[in-house]
């Protein structure tokens, strides 16, 4: 679980940094998308690997949860959750919600399935010629998608749960891989908290900005 979580963690950070290029304007984010689409020999293998890691991560979490429950079939006489953080106590449930969000996100912005309303049924509007070949107008896709407020709020809640998940998962990852000691445990905690805040602010800033009017010229 730690190894799959580490790779997924790196992907989530890289994906966030890439998506933040939307604030540089349509040309920047669409050029970034064209670069990724141009890696045809790598794009689908990477997608398959990442989805496999999500499945492996979920399977590992389920297995560990069942093992923990079977190790203590009788509940505590007095349970004091204060010794464990809220993030650690909600890892499995939060992970389930994040897994559902990943499926929704792929359907919404990769498969362009009209799962959130709006004008996603007309996928041709999200294509235009760039250097002699057609690419996705990612900027317009984001604006159209996040103009629907319930979709934006769902994304914000989901990335909040993802950030909460990572705030504990990043710490547990170091411990599971044998890379944690008392000497730098405070640094690991600070790193996990900082990266969780960065991911939440980074991801949620896009739907918030669009709801506030950013990029509306793409709809004209």
Cα–Cα dist 220/206, whole Å: 20
Domains held by the chain: number: 1
Residue 129, beta-bridge partner list = 134
Q: 164: domain range? A: 2-219
Strands (E), the chain: 127-130, 133-136
Average pLDDT over residues 199-217: 94
Q: Residue 130: which pLDDT band, with cuts at 50, 70 and 90?
A: low
pLDDT over threshold 90, residue 194: yes
Query: Are 145 and 120 spatial neighbours (Cβ–Cβ below 8 Å)?
Result: yes
Q: Residue 4: which pLDDT band, with cuts at 50, 70 and 90?
A: confident
Q: Residue 57: which pLDDT band, with cuts at 50, 70 and 90?
A: confident
Please tell me which residue, 91 or 170, carries the higher pLDDT value.
170
pLDDT over threshold 60, residue 114: yes
Residue 130, beta-bridge partner list = 133
Please tell me which residue, 81 or 193, carries the higher pLDDT value.
193
pLDDT tens digit string along 58-96? 888 788 878 877 776 666 556 555 555 655 566 667 777
Tokens of 42: 């790598």
Share of the chain above pLDDT 70, in %: 79
Please tell me which residue, 122 or 173, carries the higher pLDDT value.
173
User: Where residue 53 sits, what CATH number does that domain have?
Assistant: 1.20.1300
pLDDT over threshold 60, residue 29: yes
Segment (H or E) for 11: helix 2-19
Average pLDDT, the chain: 80
Please tell me which residue, 107 or 189, carries the higher pLDDT value.
189
């Amino acid at each position: 679980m730690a190894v799959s979580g580490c790779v997924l963690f790196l992907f989530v950070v890289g994906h966030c940094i890439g998506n933040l290029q939307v604030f540089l304007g349509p040309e920047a984010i669409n050029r970034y998308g064209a670069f990724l689409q141009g890696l045809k020999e790598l794009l689908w293998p990477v997608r398959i690997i990442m989805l496999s890691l999500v499945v492996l991560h979920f399977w590992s979490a389920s297995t560990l949860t069942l093992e923990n429950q079977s190790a203590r079939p009788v509940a505590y006489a007095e349970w004091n959750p204060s010794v464990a953080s809220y993030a650690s106590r909600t890892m499995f449930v939060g992970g389930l919600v994040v897994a559902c969000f990943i499926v929704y996100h792929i359907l919404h912005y990769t498969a362009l399935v009209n799962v959130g309303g709006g004008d996603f049924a007309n996928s041709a509007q999200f294509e235009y010629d760039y250097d002699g070949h057609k690419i996705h107008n990612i900027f317009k896709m984001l604006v159209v998608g996040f103009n629907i407020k319930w979709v934006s709020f769902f994304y914000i809640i989901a990335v909040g749960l993802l950030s909460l998940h990572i705030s504990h998962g990043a710490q547990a990852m170091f411990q599971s891989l044998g890379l944690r000691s008392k000497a730098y445990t405070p640094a690991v905690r600070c790193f996990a908290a900082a990266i969780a805040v960065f991911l939440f602010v980074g991801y949620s800033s896009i739907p918030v900005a669009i709801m506030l009017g950013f990029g509306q010229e793409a709809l004209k």
